[in-house]
């Protein structure tokens, strides 16, 4: 599984952000994005989230999670993209910072009750 996660860090990024999750998944994944950005950026950083697809359930939850972690979403901040894609029995979360010069991926497995649980560490790649 580790090579697959590392390969996910080096894949081409789509334009904007893409999420293939429901609102319950977004509530679990948004704090993971915010926590990663809080660890990768200086405190009180400003980020510009790439426009998500219409109806993206993660956008409102992510804005709140970023604020909780001391990060301000704004149109002029450092560019951030996130992609959530189905993988095996869960989803793979990709985060790109500064156009992909720094990227991270983490796998979340879906439990029998339908919830997502982190199934490994956040794997980071810096160019």
Per-residue pLDDT tens digits for 58-78: 888 998 999 999 999 998 999
| Interval 43-50 mean pLDDT | 90
Which of 69, 4, 2 shows the shortest CA–CA distance to 30?
69
Q: CB–CB of 96/13 below 8 Å?
A: yes
The CA distance from 15 to 20, in Å, is: 15
Q: With 0.75 as the threshold, say if the pTM is over it.
A: yes
pLDDT of 5: 40
Residues 89, 65, 1: CA angle, nearest 5 degrees: 25
């Amino acid at each position: 599984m580790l090579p697959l996660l590392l390969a996910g860090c080096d894949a081409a990024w789509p334009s904007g952000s893409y999420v293939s999750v429901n609102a319950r998944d977004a509530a679990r994944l948004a704090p993971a994005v915010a926590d990663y950005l809080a660890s990768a950026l200086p405190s009180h950083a400003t980020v510009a989230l790439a426009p998500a697809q219409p109806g993206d359930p993660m956008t409102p939850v992510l804005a709140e999670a970023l604020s909780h972690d001391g990060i301000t979403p704004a149109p002029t901040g450092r560019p951030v993209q996130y992609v959530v894609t189905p993988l095996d029995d869960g989803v793979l979360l990709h985060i790109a910072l500064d156009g992909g010069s720094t990227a991270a991926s983490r796998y979340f497995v879906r439990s029998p009750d339908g919830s997502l649980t982190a199934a490994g560490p956040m794997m980071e790649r810096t160019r």
